[in-house]
Amino acid sequence: MRKTNLAFCFILAISALFCGMDAAAQQPQRFTKADTLRGLLTPLRSCYDINYYHLDIKINIEEQSIAGSNEFTFTATQDFDRLQFDLFENLEISKVVYRGAELHFTREFNAVFLTFPKQIKKGEKQSFKVFYAGKPVIAKRPPWDGGFIFSKDNSGNPWVSVACQGLGASSWWPNKDHQSDEVDSMLISISVPGQLREVSNGRLRSVIPADEGYNQYNWFVASPINNYNISLYIGKYAHWSDQYNGEKGKLSLDFWSLESDSAQARPHWEADVKRMLRSFEYWFGPYPFYKDGYKLVQAPHLGMEHQSAVAYGNLFRQGYLGKDLSGSGWGLKFDFITIHESGHEWFGNNITSKDIADMWIHEAFTCYSETLFTESEYGKDAGTAYVSGIRQNIMNDMPIIGPYHVNTEGSGDMYYKGANMIHNIRQLIHNDEKFRAILRGLNQTFHHQTVTTHQIENYIAVQSGLNLNKVFDQYLRHKDLPVLEYDISKGRLSYRWRADVRNFDMPVKVSLKPGRYDWIYPSSTWKAVPLASGISKNNFKADPNFYIGLEEKAR
């Protein structure tokens, strides 16, 4: 395991922000009823399946407020007369209308409980509309802490957006705020001052003049979408289009930059987007949202994976705000935000974790997509250097998987450590075509679905033919690395694993002979093999493709 040197302290600082880690997150967590109401899929939430939303709101930029409604259309999964939806308590609900009449509702923290006049039967399709208004949470450090961003561009024009992953979509619009239930389709109607333009997910259906000099932009999302991906961008935008000849035909590409930045944005974005699509369609399968197209939108924050409307704020620089998170040099060969946030279209948006405790499914694979992109463009050695380099950002502070049912993520190591776990598994599969087939198979098998860690683990194990339970357990459910303990004496290598997982037995490659790596099969008990002439304690090492600890220890 490499330690981070002082030259990369700034990278760790950036990484800590990117992973949403701060000092408070390192302390033992105490959960409240509010956490459970948000994170637990109770019968009051599982009793209905969301089919369609129509969000219709007006943005008052001067007052930094919103007002409007959201219509819920759902199918009952069981008989019920009461349900829960979610909206932050600082936003006031004026009424909830069902079949032309107002319904009784109560609120507890950010949960809203709605009572129907008679029982709704399993299989029935019904709808209700929530009318609300207020000042949404303003992000202090977007996109990491979440909320609305009311800012101005360099010319002093209003520039507004929202990013709410982790904080929750219910911070600004009423919905069933649980990742397990993605709405099948959605109409997003946003009214903004007439001198500005508005961009949201999906395809633009119409722009309609509204009261007080406003225009209403109507965007339709034809594919299932998770709540935190719904977003809006308001500003003085320039727009241009292109297309990509992809695996499923012609994919529309739309680019929205600030007017003042369009001359810089156009060549910068076009340098990366098509080669990103070429790489990711090769490794992961077809872009998952041909119906809704691909958009890249300049945002007043660093970036977010908003489905079919990817948020971009990397200042048109290579790397991460001009820095190489890997320290390998390869991280400056592409725009990190364009590549990373677009990678989420496959892992995070196409495949979504049911509980954010399993957010590694989004971040580990997407972080590894940076390696695969580097490999596609510059060769396998470049990809290996990149994935090895990002290890300097790993903290090994707590398990990657977080506590379930309380809307809480695990360690920010879900990014870099998660990517390196996947790289380990790739070595164990030892067949890149099979590995690629597994990545593509994940996106096909779980297309537009929400999943659990168990489903992903099981799929990879079955398709690879390997027993990977202990590997997943050690890297996802424990904070420490497995350590290969070894001793070299009289021309023989003795070795064993020290790990949290009982009887950990992951194979690994080490230098048994000069100039090459060979497989050994450690377990928790000492084993020994002969070493070739020329291998000693001074030059023995493990294959750097494996992210493990290595420790000399006399028997």
Give a yes or no: residue 272 inside a domain: no
Among 182, 211, 235, identify where a domain stops. Answer: 235
Mean pLDDT, residues 537-553: 96
Q: What is the mean pLDDT of the segment spanning 218-247?
A: 98
Query: What's the pLDDT band for 28 if we cut at 50, 70, 90?
Result: low
Tell me which of 416, 447, 477 is where a domain ends.
Answer: 477
Q: How confident is the model at residue 205 (pLDDT cuts 50, 70, 90)?
A: very high
Asked if residue 165 is part of any domain, the answer here is yes
- Confidence grade of residue 24 (pLDDT, cut at 50, 70, 90): very low
Q: What is the mean pLDDT of residues 247-258?
A: 98
Q: Could you tell me the pTM of the whole model? A: 0.94
- Angle among Cα 413, 419, 422 to the nearest 5 degrees reads 125
**Residue 17, domain CATH:** 1.10.390.10
Count of alpha carbons within 13 angstroms of residue 301, beta-carbon side = 31
187 in Cβ contact with 198 (< 8 Å): no
According to the model, what pLDDT value does residue 233 have?
A: 98
Region 317-346 average pLDDT:
98
100 exposed, middle or buried (CB, 10 Å; 0-12, 13-18, 19+)?
exposed
Same domain assignment for residues 548 and 434: no
Do 498 and 463 share a structural domain? no
Q: Which residues pair with 175 in a beta bridge?
A: 86
Count of structural domains, the chain? 3
Q: What does the pLDDT look like over 419-428, one tens digit per residue?
A: 999 999 999 9
The last residue of one of the domains, among 450, 477, 504, is: 477
Residue 11 lies in a domain: yes
- Residues 395-415: pLDDT tens digits? 999 999 999 999 999 999 999
Task: Give the pLDDT score at 555.
Answer: 74
Q: With contact defined as beta carbons under 8 Å apart, do 427 and 545 qualify?
A: yes
- Are residues 404 and 503 both part of a single domain? no
| Of residues 78 and 19, more confidently modeled | 78
Q: For residue 490, give the DSSP letter.
A: T
pLDDT given at position 13: 39
Does 8 score more than 90 pLDDT? no
Q: Report pLDDT for 538.
A: 92
* Better pLDDT: 145 or 1: 145
In-domain check, residue 45? yes
Q: Is residue 35 scored above 70 in pLDDT?
A: yes
List the Cα angle 534/535/538 in 5-degree steps: 115
Whichever domain contains 149, its CATH number is: 2.60.40.1730
Q: If you average pLDDT over residues 74-92, what whole number do you get?
A: 98
> Is pLDDT at 501 greater than 80 in this prediction?
yes
The pLDDT score that the predictor gives to residue 12 is 39
308 contact partners, CB below 8 Å, separation of at least 6: 201, 202, 221, 223, 289, 292, 293, 294, 295, 345
Residue 418 is assigned to a structural domain of this protein: yes
What is the chain's alpha carbon radius of gyration, rounded to the nearest angstrom? 25
Are residues 374 and 342 both part of a single domain? yes
The reply to whether 141 falls in a domain is yes
In a domain, 282, yes or no: no
CB contact at 8 A, 102 and 93: no
Residue 540 structural domain: 483-552
Residues 348 and 455 in one domain: yes
Say whether both 59 and 195 belong to one domain: yes
Asked whether residue 493 falls in the same domain as residue 464, the answer is no
- As a whole number, the mean pLDDT across the chain is 94
Alpha carbon distance, N-terminus to C-terminus of the chain: 22
Same domain? 364 vs 500: no
In three-state secondary structure terms, 232 is strand
Report the share of the chain in percent with pLDDT over 70: 95
Task: Let me know whether 154 and 212 are in one domain.
Answer: yes
CB within 8 Å of 296: residues ≥ 6 apart: 253, 254, 255, 256, 269, 273, 310, 312, 338, 342
pLDDT at 16 over 80: no
Query: What is the residue type of 425?
Result: I
- Cα 519-432-373 angle, rounded to 5 deg: 120
Same domain flag for 196 and 51: yes
Same structural domain for residues 21 and 136? no
pLDDT of residue 18: 42
Let me know if residue 258 belongs to a domain.
no
| Residue 82 shares a structural domain with residue 131 | yes
Rounded to the nearest 5 degrees, what angle is found at the Cα of 147, between the Cα atoms of 141 and 148? 100
Q: What is the pLDDT of residue 30?
A: 87
Is residue 15 predicted with pLDDT exceeding 70? Answer: no
Residue-level pLDDT at 295: 98
